[in-house]
Amino acid sequence: MNRLILAGLLIVVLATGAAAGQWSLRPQVIDNGGAALLVWEGPQPVSGVAHFAEQVFPLAPRSFGAVALLAADLDLPAGTYPVDLSLKMPDGKIRTHLLHLEVRHLDRAVQRLTLPPSQVTPHEPEVLERIERERQRFNQVFAHTSLPVLWQEFVRPVDDPTGSPFGVRRILNDQPRAPHSGVDFRSPRGTSVRAAARGRVVMADDFFFTGKTVVLDHGGGLYSLYAHLEQISCAEGDLLEAGSLLGRVGSTGRSTGPHLHWGVRLQNQRIDPLVLLELLPGRQSDYP
C-alpha cells in the first residue's frame, strides 16, 4: 500500500512539474546589437509576450511550448535588464515569470569611405524630399508587428565572404555618419540573393540610398532587408520560403561597387544578422 501511495505521489509531482514548464535564454549574455532566443518548454500557450528594454516581443507557439527572439539595439547601454514574461494558457489563466538578460558593450571598428558629394550630402530640394519620404516609409514598415510569426530557420542570403561588418562606425568624406546597420557581402554582380527566412515581401522598390531593395516581414516584428540589388525577382505580397530567390546582387543606390547589404530589424531594433544564423542555423521545429 505504501509503495502504491508513493508511486501515486511521484506521478502527481511529475505531472505538476510538466504542467509548470520552464524558461530559458540562449545565450544569457549578449552584445549590444545582438539577440537572444527565449524558449518556453511546457504546455502550448494561446499567446504570450516578453517585455525587454522597453520593447514587447511576441512569443510564437511551438510543439514544445513557445519561442521568441529578443533584440538589444546597437545603441542599448550595457547592463543587466529584466525580461518580464507573460503567457495566456488555454484554460484562461495567465502565467508570469521574470528572467534577466545581460547586455555587454562591444566597441566597433571605424571605416572611412570617399563618395561623390552628391551621394553623401545632397542639396537638391526634390532629392531631399525623396529621402524624407523614403525614410518615413521604412519607419512605418519597421514599426509594425504582424502575426503569426513565420520564421523557423535562418540561412545566408549569399555564400560569399563578408566585407563591412555590422555596427562599424563610418566616416564619409571625413564626416561621421550613422553606424553600419547591416552586413555587406563581397558578392559579384548578378549573384543570386536568397530569402534568409520564411517571410512576406512588404517592400520591393528603388530607393535613393539603398537602391533596388527588398524587405521581408517574418512576423513578430522581425524584418530582413536586401539592398543595392541589380534585379528584383519578387513582388510585394509574395510569400517566400527560406532560400527562395528574391533578386540579384548589384550596385544601385549609394554604393561603391557590387555587393549585398543585408540588414535585420526586430521591433525596430538594429541587430547583427549573423547572430540569427547562429541562433537558428536550421529547422528548429523540434528543438530544444
User: How confident is the model over 221-246, as pLDDT tens digits?
Assistant: 999 999 999 999 999 999 999 999 99
Rounded CA gap, 212 and 205, in Å? 6
- According to the model, what pLDDT value does residue 10 have? 33
Lowest mean pLDDT among 27-36, 42-51, 123-132: 123-132
Sequence spans of domains, the chain:
21-104, 110-279
The CATH class that applies to domain 110-279 reads mainly beta
Q: What is the mean pLDDT of residues 44-61?
A: 96
pLDDT at 113: 73
Give pairs for 23-29: CB < 8 Å, separation 24+.
23/85, 23/97, 23/99, 24/288, 25/70, 25/83, 25/99, 25/101, 26/279, 28/100, 28/101, 28/102, 29/101, 29/102, 29/103, 29/104
Q: What is the pLDDT of residue 84?
A: 98
Which of the four pLDDT bands, split at 50, 70 and 90, describes residue 170?
confident
Q: Are 217 and 199 in contact (CB under 8 A)?
A: yes
Identify the pLDDT of residue 14: 31
Q: Which pLDDT belongs to residue 119? A: 60
What is the residue type of 58? P
Question: Is it the case that residue 263 has pLDDT exceeding 60?
Answer: yes
> What is the reported pTM?
0.88
Candidate ranges 18-22, 92-96, 167-171, 176-180; pick with highest mean pLDDT: 92-96
Distance CA 16, CA 21 (A): 9
pLDDT higher at 124 or 237: 237
Contact 85, 48 (CB under 8 A): yes
Residues 6+ apart with CB under 8 A from 271: 33, 34, 35, 71, 72, 73, 74, 166, 264, 265
* pLDDT bucket at 122, cuts 50 / 70 / 90: confident
Closest CA to 119 of 270, 244, 216, 254: 254
**Lowest-pLDDT range, 1-15, 188-202, 253-267?**
1-15
Question: What value does the mean pLDDT take over residues 156-181?
Answer: 85
- Tell me the average pLDDT across 180-205: 96
55-58: strand order across its sheet: 29-31, 94-104, 79-88, 47-52, 55-58
Q: What is the pLDDT of residues 92-119, one digit of tens each?
A: 999 999 999 999 999 888 877 777 665 6
Same fold, 21-104 and 110-279: no
Which residue, 245, 191, 183, is CA-closest to 214? 245
Task: Please determine, for residue 87, whether its predicted confidence score (pLDDT) is greater than 50.
Answer: yes
Residue 180 confidence (pLDDT) above 90:
no
- What average pLDDT does the segment 123-148 reach? 94
Q: How confident is the model at residue 178 (pLDDT cuts 50, 70, 90)?
A: confident
Question: Hey, what CATH topology would domain 21-104 get?
Answer: Immunoglobulin-like (2.60.40)
- Cα angle, residue 150 at apex, residues 149 and 156 outer, rounded to 5°: 125
